[in-house]
Structure 1
Amino acid sequence: MPTNARSAARPTYPGVHVEELPSSTRTISAVTTSVTAFVGHTRRGPLNEPVRVTGFTDFERRFGGLGSRSAVAHAVHQFFGNGGGVAVIVRVAAAGSGRAACTALESTGGHSESRVLEVHAKEPGVWGNGLRIAVDHDTPHPDDTFNLRVHDARGDTRESFTGLSMDARHGRHAPTVINAASRLIRVEAVGEGRPDPSGTVSRPFGRELPHLAVGLTVKIGGVEREFTLHDPDRDGPAPTTVAELALLLERKLRALPDAPGKHAFAGAEVTAFGRRLQVVAGSTDPDDVVRFLGECANDLGLEASVNPPVFPLAGGEDGAPPGPRDLIGSEADRTGIQALRGVADVNLLALPEIAGYDRTEDMLTVVSAAQRLCAERRIFLLVDAPAGWVSADTARAGAAAFDAVRGDHAALYFPHLWLTDPLTGRLRAFPPSGAIAGVIARTDAERGVWKAPAGTGARLAGVHSLTVDLTDRETGLLAPLGVNCLRTFPVTGPLVWGARTLEGADALDSEWKYVPVRRLALHVEESLHRGLQWVVFEPNDESLWQQIRLSASSYLHTLFRQGAFKGTTPREAYFVKCDHETTTAEDVANGVVNVLVGIAPVRPAEFVIVRIRQTSGQFAL
């Protein structure tokens, strides 16, 4: 067997020999640019846990959809409506608020009722009050195991777990199986025994079934009906097995008239397990208990245990919207915005709730903490103007407060948006950050991260109008303060008309004045950071430096060809330097390799000046 490429290529006959050799060139791939994190209050979802969603339907499934008190939910809706592709959601609630709905399943196996299994909604919130639990013993081992199903308030089965055991040594131990797989509930064993089945369960029948040509009275909820269990003339031969008896009883119950608008009799289910029957009303109303009345029912043993058709969860409470401290969170505990420290791909951050804070100081506290996180994690923050900015004059006066948080990793947008609230059908004002993030994602996909997310192509989809209709003069006063204005123009409608960072005020004269320049730099930094991980622990010599130069230059040249940099030649657009000048002998001794990268970003044409000169009517050809 050949042990290396040279021995593998040794010819054994005359002719042309083809050999594939591995490339020594390592490529640097471009990272994402528009994955947006939304942090704040939602109707449901795991607390302080980043969850990636790829559409609003996904958000509805994981976080409960739109809510009247959830600015984040509406922002996510606007994000996907304006072209967003991927979002990361972090649900945050006020400390100490919110409760998970729960119920306790009981067992009567030891002739005394005791709680054996507590069922809790997976996350806090009133949403859990709509969950219903159904239990049956229809398993291959009906004396030891059970099945558990989770229904929603409409009766639809959302999750099902079969063959469960309360024995911790069993391979299908209920808490272990359910807690690992369920997205709706978690359970805790609190006693011995297994949960009783839902519905009404009979005593075990003997080897031979009793006489079945008897009249029975059944009551489901408040409705009472009478019927004959077996009529030889109409029903044919009498059942000889418990399974046949189950089919007969189910057919009889379903033939009985229901109360108006009810489905308790029509949807009744009778299941045979072992030598027993389980009778469950065709309803998820806990009051629709099936009761068989009279001596005949007692003789047949149809009421060994009586339970509701489902066990409802109750007591769930929504958490209060988070305050500034809750939103900032703890770096040690990874709560609030600090939960994003464990997420690899986040490019934009939106905090739509802070626009509604009564105190500007609280808003600025959150913005300051968020900017520190963004600087560390190479994220760009989208800041909504305070809701109290109701005119250009209040915006000019309020902009001075942001001097304390001027930074190049954030941009401020004004005014808010008038949109139709899907929950009420009426117009309502919303912070713009969700829609802005969608516009940025759309612009990145169509043009690139180096294109300013502003101009006639940056239309705001679904926006009825703006809360403040700014004029050219008012825009001219706000833009030099680092405020990005949203404008409405004829034909195009509402759009983004500004691309400055919070450090983009004219008075600061910052090199990071423009949003696309800062975001392009973040993109390049993160791509190089990830693409050069292979360098760690490699021999620090000229061969390594050459590979670094080749990899970085190849990546930057791709951006140059796409139009990310100014200049007509690569030499004018970028440079990569990694040699004995950047990495000295002392650096090599200390295990350091220094790479110097320079780029010439394209700045947006913020002011387009057209000069017109009048002539006397003489034109020279």
Structure 2
Amino acid sequence: MATSVAAFIGKAAKGPVGEAELIQSFDDYNNLYGDIDSEGDAMGIAVQSFYLNGGKSAFICRLAGEGSSLASISVNGEGSGGTPTTSPALVISASREGTWGNKVYVRLLKPDQDALTFTLEVGHQDKGKFVVDEQYSGLGMRAGDANYALSVVNGASSRVRLSLGDAADPDKAGEQYQAAVLTGGALDATVNTLFSAAITAPVSLSLNINALGAKQITLNPASFTTPLAGAAHATDGASVAFEIQKAVRALSTEQAYQSFTCAYSVDHFVLTSPEPARNADKPLASLEAGSGDFARLIRIGGSQPAEFKGTGAPGSFGTATYFNSNVVDGDLTLNVDGHGVVTVSLTKSKIGLQGVSNQDDGDAVALAIQNAVRALNPEIAAYKDFKCVYIGTPAGSRGFRLTSGNGSARVSSLTVPGGTLRTILGLNTGTQTAGRSVAQGTAHVVPLAALGLNDQGSEMAGGSENPPTANDYSDFYDSVLRKVRDVSILLVPGEYWAADGSGNAVIAATLAHCEKMKNRVVIIDPPPGLELDQEATVTALALPSSTYSVLYYPWVKVANPFYHAEKNPTASKTLSAPPSGFAAGMWSRIDGKRGVWKAPAGMEAGLFGAAGFEYIIEDGEQDQLNPLGVNCYRNMPGGGRVIWGARTLATKADPEWRYVPVRRTAIMIEQSIYNGIQWAVFEPNDHRLWSSLRANIGNFMNGLFRAGAFQGEKASDAYFVRCGLGDTMTQGDIDAGQVIVIVGFAPLKPAEFVIVRIQQKVNLQ
């Protein structure tokens, strides 16, 4: 088994709460839990010390006390009729509790205000500017879709979580969901033969209703209930609508198909999917049409934008000099796809009018209008793909035709309400041809594009964190950490033994967990600022006398990451770090190099990252502290700063387990054997099983013996394995379903004191 997997439990700057997250480096810690955020960040400093001194695998267990809260920010939905929802449609919260979330900034962007999708950017500020850390594009509000905002962001973001606000929560009174309505673009109602001339053979149409998948229907004019006669436009339009509805309802008994309707109104088709009952297997209403020939004919599929054809002065445009003589510096106001009235300005000298060709000058004016509108906002489809053309022939149709750039807007429309050039260009009167519009079931709850639109982004607020209590630690040990069997070293950064000897409730809970599990050891930090210079001082601390507890002393001085000679010269160059992180790293380093049976101390145990110690330990203090189980950090001549001690706090109470390597070797052997003989469960409990167990365990123990883990010149002196009836078991044990194995070993014990005796030899001749 792994012998030096550490678990750091307690308060951290950020990251998952109430979970044991495995990391392999300090970079992993920074990515998940953040950089060391203050001089008092005990967790960050302890983990850094662990990895500086040889640590490898570690579980980080961030705990937060009751009452801790998430930073958050809310945004309302688009609503209906131009009025946003009165309550939030979307709540953006920090992924975990704590004040760190108050430093998270977000932006919500929609390149087109009518878009049913949006982009969420999550980041931070740097010198007052928003910096993007995470970006999620094309998000929607329809549960079950691949781009559903809550699923996409909550499944990928390490910083934020999304939830529905009251306006978008189906269980709240203020919910805004609706039926899905696809309104086709306007058709020429003056042509009675529009349908009868075009639909002479079977035609197909692809529809996706409520995201149940694209389904194709076929309409055969030969079998129409009301044949296409070409005599009345509205009658034929109603006949086509009826056949579409009939074909969809014939697809399936699914409620979405049975509730579907299609109607023809004056000059356009209206397809509707009513809002279904919302539960786990019924999606929200939506409608999508394919882009085939028939869909284009009835203007419900593909891009079917709105058009405005000016009819103000077609006769006046007949002269070649009209535009050159009449156009002046001026402006036009337009409203494209409901984005609001905007003004575009034209400068005559930049248009390039020649007064030679009516068509050429008309084309030049049209191009100038088109470029001016596209320049309004290249990110909005209605503007980006806006078109303006001049029609010079025939004479009765002369004029400018303006086309919206977005045929998929919720409301595709185009008007020219004013401007000094409106009459001159014949745009004071005209004919608007409505484009296709779509209102999906989630249209009202799509968030407003009004969050963090500036360079700073919008800051989340309300994050707080209360310190975890001893009960929080106990609950975490019982519910989570007991299941993580690889852990063998526990540390509780920020918690230390009380100087008045009253102990520490968190450390007591941690030690109780170790005693219960019997496969892990807690490294306890002494109180800072207390010099342990004699036996009486240590005795007054009333340290626990458990074989599963170890203490190192004194606290270590490390470089202060917040000191900077120019930016922060008043900060202290060093700060005090708890000794436990250094020791845990050293355990891992020595285990990897020499084995768990080697004491993690001595000249080989040089500390990295230590700039000094809170107190200096000399031989006198060492002689006082070592017999009490206090392992010292010392400055040794020729060896630098090293660990000088390898005892548990059971030194006097249980001398058999006084040494750290003995306790940890026993844990390693017990856990390895336990894991290695699970194959024996439910095997027949007879002499064949006992023999197999003796051989299996004996091979393992012999491997350790050959690696130098035990005392003894030969295997029989180093260990034994016993298992058998009359030896380790009675018939009662066997009847109770128990197979009992007894394993013994002769542990290696460190040479703490090297004694040199010098004797003078006399009477030399």
Larger CA deviation: 99-108 vs 445-454: 99-108
Closer, same or farther: CA 159–539 of 1 in aligned 2, 3 Å = farther
2: distance between equivalents of 1:386 and 1:71? Answer: 14
One-letter amino acid of the structure 1 residue matched with residue 33 of structure 2: F
Q: 2:149 aligns with which of 151, 163, 174?
A: 174
> Which of 35, 52, 55 lines up with 2:22 in the alignment?
52
In structure 2, stretches of 5+ residues that fail to align are 169-175, 178-303, 311-326, 333-342, 353-362, 386-417, 423-447, 565-572
Pairing partner for 1:82 from 26, 42, 53? 53
User: Number of matched residues?
Assistant: 519
Given the alignment of the two structures, is residue 410 of structure 1 paired with residue 410 of structure 2, yes or no?
no
For 2:384 and 2:28, how far apart are their aligned partners in 1? 42
Secondary structure, counterpart of 1:530 in structure 2: helix
Q: How does 1:190-209 map to 2 (within 5 A)?
A: 190=165, 191-192=167-168, 206-207=306-307
Structure 1, 493-502 or 141-150: larger mean CA deviation: 141-150
Structure 2: distance between partners of 1:170 and 1:134? 22
Counterpart for residue 590 of structure 1: 736
Alignment match, 2:379: 271
Does the CA contact (< 8 Å) of 2:469 and 2:506 recur in 1?
no
Contact 1:128-1:313 within 8 A present in 2 as well: no
Contact 1:137 1:273 in 2 (8 A): no
Quickly say closer, same or farther: Cα 1:429–1:617, change in 2 above 3 A.
farther
Cα deviation 1:104-144 (Å, max 9, x = unaligned):
122224122222111100012232223233334469x9743
1:503-552 deviations in Å (ceiling 9; x for gaps): 013xx352001000000000111111111122111222222222212221
CA contact (8 A) 2:6 2:57 kept: yes
1:49 is paired with a residue whose SS is coil
Q: Which residue of 1 aligns with 2:523?
A: 382
1:522 counterpart residue number? 667
Q: Deviations over 1:418-437 (max 9, x none)?
A: 11111236122221000111
Match of 2:32 in 1: 62
Helix, strand or coil: the match of 2:108? strand
Query: Could you say what secondary structure the match of 2:550 adopts?
Result: strand
Q: Which residue of 1 aligns with 2:412?
A: none
With over 3 angstroms needed to count, the CA separation of the structure-2 counterparts of 1:437 and 1:392, relative to structure 1, is same
**Which of these residues, 134, 149, 172, is aligned with residue 159 of structure 1?**
134
Once the two structures are superposed, what CA deviation does each residue of 1:585-619 show, in whole Å capped at 9, x if it has no partner?
32222211111111111010111111111223849
Letter in 1 for 2:58: A
> What does 1:466-505 correspond to in 2, within 5 Å?
466-505=613-652
CA distance in 1, matches of 2:367, 2:683: 80
Contact 2:501–2:542 (8 Å) recurs in 1: no
CA-CA distance at 1:296 after TM superposition: 7.8
Partner of 2:683: 538
* Other-structure match for 1:611: 757
Q: Percent identity?
A: 32
Matched, 1:107 2:77: yes
Answer yes or no: is the 8 Å Cα contact 1:66–1:423 preserved in 2.
Answer: no
Moved more, 157-166 or 535-544: 157-166
Q: Distance in 2 between matches of 1:102 and 1:209?
A: 48
In 1, Cα distance between equivalents of 2:497 and 2:309: 70
Deviation at 1:276, TM superposition (A): 7.0
Partner of 1:344: 485
Q: Is the counterpart of residue 401 in structure 1 residue 533 in structure 2? A: no
Say which of 574, 582, 598 aligns to 1:451. 598
AA partner of residue 583 (structure 1): M
Report the TM-score, using the length of structure 2 for normalisation: 0.62
1:47 Cα deviation after fit: 1.7
1:43 Cα offset (Å): 1.0
In 2, are the aligned partners of 1:43 and 1:318 still within 8 Å (CA)? no
CA distance in 2, matches of 1:243, 1:512: 87
Deviation at 1:205, TM superposition (A): 8.2
Partner of 2:607: 460
Counterpart amino acid of residue 132 in structure 2: T
Q: Give, in whole Å, the separation in 2 of the partners of 1:77 and 1:316.
A: 29
Structure 1 residue identity aligned to 2:47: V
Deviation of 1:382 (Å) = 0.6
Task: Give the C-alpha shift of residue 187 in structure 1.
Answer: 1.1
User: What is the aligned counterpart of 2:560 among 405, 417, 421?
Assistant: 421
Give 1:567's match in structure 2, choosing from 712, 722, 728. Answer: 712
Residue of structure 1 in register with 2:586 after alignment: 439
The equivalent of 1:547 in structure 2 is 692
The whole-number CA distance in structure 2 between the counterparts of 1:516 and 1:349 is 16
Structure 1 counterpart of 2:121, from 131, 140, 149: 149
Q: CA deviation at 1:209?
A: 11
Residues 248 and 597 (structure 1), Cα distance of their counterparts in 2 relative to 1, 3 Å cut: same
Change (3 A) 1:615 1:152: same
> Which residue type is aligned with residue 182 of structure 1?
S
In structure 1, the partner of 2:289 is: none
Q: Say whether 1:116 aligns with 2:89.
A: yes
- Partners of 2:330 and 2:743 lie apart in 1 by 92
Q: CA deviation at 1:362?
A: 4.4
Matched AA of 2:487: V
- AA of the residue aligned to 2:542: F
CA shift, 1:357, in A, is: 5.3
Residue in 1 aligned with 2:453?
Answer: 309
CA displacement, residues 14-64 of structure 1 (integer Å, 9 cap, x when unaligned): xxxxxxxxxxxxxxxxx1111111111111112221111111111111111
Unaligned runs of 5+ in 1: 1-30, 195-203, 217-225, 251-269, 278-294
Which deviates more, 550-559 or 422-431? 422-431
Question: How many Å separate the matches in 2 of 1:517 and 1:493?
Answer: 26
- Tell me if structure 1 keeps the 8 A contact 2:597–2:709: yes
Distance change in 2, residues 1:428/1:136 (3 Å):
closer
SS in 2 for 1:329: helix
CA contact (8 A) 1:239 1:245 kept: no
Aligned partner letter, 2:669:
V
